[in-house]
């Protein structure tokens, strides 16, 4: 084996080691970016479920459905553990709020909520 061949092989070996070291440095950053992306998807999904639940509850309350029915319909569309508040007057207002733990067991919680309003329908009569 000539001296030039040995030099080329040593250069290739050093470059392979550098790629491994660079990967070791970048891998934690990639995992952090992935965790942030998954967390964002979980939080946005819970927010959208709160929006849907509030709309469903406001529609039911505007039709004159009983309070228990409004809470039940909102709970079906809401994230687990969500709370529903109902305010009835000439207009109805339904607020759905939930606490989301986007990273599972890690102690980070995000509060999401949504409010929907609607006018009571004339045929709805008295309060629900």
Q: pLDDT digit string (tens) for 3-57?
A: 555 555 555 555 666 777 788 888 999 999 999 999 999 999 999 999 999 999 9
Axis-axis angle for helices 67-77, 3-63 (nearest 10): 170
103 CB-near residues (< 8 Å, 6+ apart): 35, 39
Express each pLDDT in 65-87 by its tens digit.
999 999 999 999 999 999 999 99
Q: How many CB atoms sit inside 10 A of residue 116's CB?
A: 22
Structure tokens at 124: 């709805």
Which 3 state secondary structure label does DSSP give 99?
strand
The pTM assigned to this predicted structure is 0.76
- Burial grade of 113 (CB within 10 A; 0-12, 13-18, 19 or more): middle
């Amino acid at each position: 084996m000539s001296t030039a061949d040995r030099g080329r092989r040593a250069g290739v070996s050093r470059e392979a080691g550098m790629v491994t070291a660079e990967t070791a440095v970048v891998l934690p950053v990639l995992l952090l970016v992935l965790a942030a992306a998954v967390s964002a998807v979980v939080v946005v999904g819970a927010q959208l479920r709160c929006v849907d639940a509030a709309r469903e509850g406001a529609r039911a309350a505007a039709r004159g459905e009983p309070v228990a029915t409004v809470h039940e319909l909102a709970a079906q569309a809401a994230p687990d553990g969500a709370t529903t508040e109902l305010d009835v007057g000439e207009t109805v207002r339904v607020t759905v709020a939930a606490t989301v733990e986007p990273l599972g067991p890690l102690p980070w919680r995000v509060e999401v909520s949504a409010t929907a309003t609607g006018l009571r329908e004339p045929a709805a009569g008295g309060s629900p």
